[in-house]
Chain A
């Protein structure tokens, strides 16, 4: 059986290896992804974002349990940061998900950012497609969790969940601009802590302020759910909120689902184009013995500035 059939048959080892090759940007995955692509589009993708320590992994763990009880299969992609100094990473999201390790209905993959910004990895969208083609019903994606500008997940997920906790300083600090705008659902986790109601009120106010823009965009009013993930409290409500959002997306009279899919396709296309354009140009320069280092040197020596240099390169390479 070839790799494509193995993935479609849900074989774990083959799929795990393919994910590795995707992450490592091995050239030969292109044709495999192409063959798998027609088999995608069935899985429901839920994204979790929010600052480190708010409980994303624990929520993912609890929600996976909930889906398993409904007999749905689950794929989990959990992103942790790569050290900018060594290039290494410690991937520890699995610590909170141990109960699923022996469940053949759950596939968990830990990913390192490898210098990619935005909360996900360069490979995440392709990996979502592979888990989808593998037959997972639900795919839960946990972002790296920096908290302010990692809105990329909104382009990959059907439902985006922004997680916060009570008492993050100026309460809403943790979920201001950008991230505040991507949540289909807001979760106030660790809701047993003091100030939970206040945090909920502040999120409610911010949602109300954004009302007009929402009405223009088809009118989903984000839901707010209080949870205490370690004890499983509020998971039922969170699950219901996700179902509500899903029903809204699929009701389709305003084409909301099309919007999500369009955004995802656009994003993946643009990102791939950027990546490939960069690589192509660098490869062409390489032929003439020009590297990033030689270009940097020109800038350091004030021979030129970064913008002018780029304009010159583009002028020469893209004629």
Chain B
């Protein structure tokens, strides 16, 4: 059998804001980059996001957030991933963040934060360089 490992990514919007244009644009860009993108829509709780990430066996979760709720939802998501022994899944964020929050988010394990103005090619390039499909189970 020939192996064809595809990168699988979950794009999710935690919290209450319903502005999902950014999430949709990035989902589309990732598709065009050849990734398989699971898109779950708005208003996701950290619990829903982590459960989806595990069931779908994604390599990366991209969190889109504009509401400021990242100070709650991002740490909670990281905590839930750890509780489920799924801390190998890369987590990145995109949206609007106060500058002083970015180092805090990185310190809890968020690998990268993309702010407004980030180019799609830049984000895709980052993913290609930093996220690899998980190794096969028993190979």
Residues of A within 8 A of B (CB): 3, 12-13, 16-21, 23-30, 32, 82-83, 85-92, 94-95, 98, 101-102, 107-110, 112, 114, 279
B37 touches A17 (CB 8 A): no
> Could you say which residues of chain B place their CB within 8 Å of the CB of A85?
32
Residue B28 at the A interface, CB < 8 A? yes
> Which residues of A sit under 8 angstroms from B56, Cβ to Cβ?
16, 91, 108-110
* Interface pair A86/B137, CB less than 8 Å apart: no
A98 CA / B52 CA spacing, docked (Å) = 10
Determine if B4 is an interface residue (Cβ-Cβ < 8 Å). Answer: yes
Are B139 and A88 in contact, with the CB atoms below 8 A?
no
Is there contact, CB below 8 Å, between A86 and B31? Answer: yes
Provide the residues of chain A in CB contact with B21, threshold 8 Å: none
Specify the main secondary structure of chain B where it touches its partner.
loop
Residue B3 lies at the interface, judged by CB distance under 8 Å to chain A: yes
The answer to whether A89 and B31 touch across the interface, beta carbons within 8 angstroms, is yes
Cβ of B55 and Cβ of A279 under 8 Å apart? no
With A13-B85, A102-B51, A109-B56 as contacts: A27 and B3 at CB distance below 8 Å? yes
B115 at the interface (CB under 8 A from A): no
Contact A90 B51 (CB under 8 A): no
Is the beta-carbon distance between B48 and A98 smaller than 8 angstroms?
Answer: yes
A95 touches B54 (CB 8 A): no
- A86 and B33 contact, CB distance less than 8 A: yes
B5 close to A (CB within 8 Å): yes
Q: Are A92 and B1 in contact (CB under 8 A)?
A: no
Q: Find B41's partner among A29, A89, A95 (CB 8 Å cutoff).
A: A95
Given known pairs A88-B34, A112-B36, the reply for A17 and B57 (CB within 8 Å) is yes
Docked-complex contact B55 and A91, CB < 8 angstroms: no
A89 neighbours in B (Cβ, 8 Å): 31, 36-37
Contact A90 B31, beta carbon cutoff 8 Å: yes
Determine whether the beta carbon of A90 is less than 8 Å from that of B28. Answer: yes
Partner of A28, one of B34, B51, B86, B139: B139
Instruction: Answer yes or no: B84 CB below 8 A from chain A CBs.
Output: yes
For B107, the chain A residues whose CB sits under 8 A away are none
Q: List 14 A-B contacts (CB under 8 A).
A: A13-B86, A18-B137, A26-B139, A27-B1, A28-B138, A85-B32, A88-B35, A88-B37, A90-B27, A98-B40, A98-B44, A98-B48, A102-B48, A279-B1
Q: Check B31 against A88 for contact (C-beta < 8 Å).
A: yes
Residues of A within 8 A of B40 (CB): 94-95, 98, 101
Let me know if A26 and B41 touch, CB within 8 A: no
| In the complex, B82 has a CB within 8 A of chain A | no
- A residues near B3, Cβ cutoff 8 Å: 24-27
Q: A19-B57, A25-B4 given as contacts; is B37 within 8 A of A91 (CB)?
A: yes
Q: Which residue of chain B is the closest to A112 with respect to CB atoms?
A: B36
B87–chain A nearest beta-carbon distance, Å:
12
Q: Are A92 and B33 in contact (CB under 8 A)?
A: no
Contact residues, B16-52 vs A (CB, 8 A)? 27-28, 30-41, 44-45, 47-48, 51-52
Question: Is there contact, CB below 8 Å, between B6 and A109?
Answer: no
A residues near B33, Cβ cutoff 8 Å: 86, 88
| A32–B136 alpha-carbon span in the complex (Å) | 13
Chain B's nearest CB lies how many Å from the CB of A263? 25
